[in-house]
Structure 1
């Protein structure tokens, strides 16, 4: 049985693949509701009428919930927003699968300097509250970015990042017990 990307995103929250109606019931939670609308806006992006409808609806809920994630943003399946509010992701950012992003996170573009550009974030990355990831950098797979970390350099696979400036510590299974219900 093939599961939709929305089912895979919601699997991360519950550990179960849900029916369409079960997913709609879970949309009372702002973070899950936003993920649902985000994926619908992505799916209908190139369709004139439904695309515009979902884009406007997503914009309404961006303002209401404080999530600034655009349909153009490439985010892999199994995306999980742990809490709602005050989240900014540059639309050119690329994020892998099974990633968790907490409230207060900023993933931004650097407009000048040696790291001019946007981040590319690997698979199974956990980004804690109020962390900032900025510039043309690569975050590897299985990386835990601690709360309040300020990341402006590449981070290799299997690492924990803490502090400002960022301190990178290699660690096997860095996101173990942080990223649950992987798809």
Structure 2
């Protein structure tokens, strides 16, 4: 893959498996998930530019409310972000998410305000997060990890694992995300 693709092109590639031109990307923005990702990435790109940064933050705020995604430009998210379904998604602005991450509806990636895990999650590359999963605290989720639907994760997870349940149980699995994360960048 040539390195001159933009982060938006890499995000959109995850959806379609095709490298799209800027015009094709705008046409794909009819999809609410892709539309939100486009606006989020613009807000991130221009975050430190006074006028454009303010403009994109206002636009982003409108679509946060419209689509139910609470993701802020300050959140560090690697290329290849894939939002499976729109609605009810909360990600703390201090969380860090690696590349090729799939996030389903109803997910919360948040802070823990007290205790031994006070802080924010760091999530590795190639992670699939199922519907209604909750990931909280100063924890590290490794790469190639599948977090099953409705899981509550507040402990570190090593690479190459499946996590399921409330309280989360960790199952080492070499191909944890095989068939779940398509079109990796």
Cα deviation, residue 113, structure 1: 0.2
Matches within 5 A, 1:7-86: 7-86=9-88
Cα deviation, residue 173, structure 1: 1.1
SS in 2 for 1:156: coil
**Structure 1 residue runs without a partner (length 5+):** none
**Structure 2 residue runs without a partner (length 5+):** none
Query: How many residues are paired up?
Result: 183
Aligned to 1:121: 123
- Output the aligned Cα RMSD: 0.5
> 1:70-104, CA deviations, whole angstroms, 9 ceiling, x for partnerless residues?
00000000000011000000000000000000000
4+ residue segments displaced more than 3 Å: none
1:89 aligns with 2:94: no
Cα deviation, residue 110, structure 1: 0.2
- What CA distance in whole angstroms lies between the structure 2 residues aligned with 1:108 and 1:74? 13
Q: TM-score, normalised by structure 2?
A: 0.98
Q: TM-score, normalised by structure 1?
A: 0.99
SS in 2 for 1:126: strand
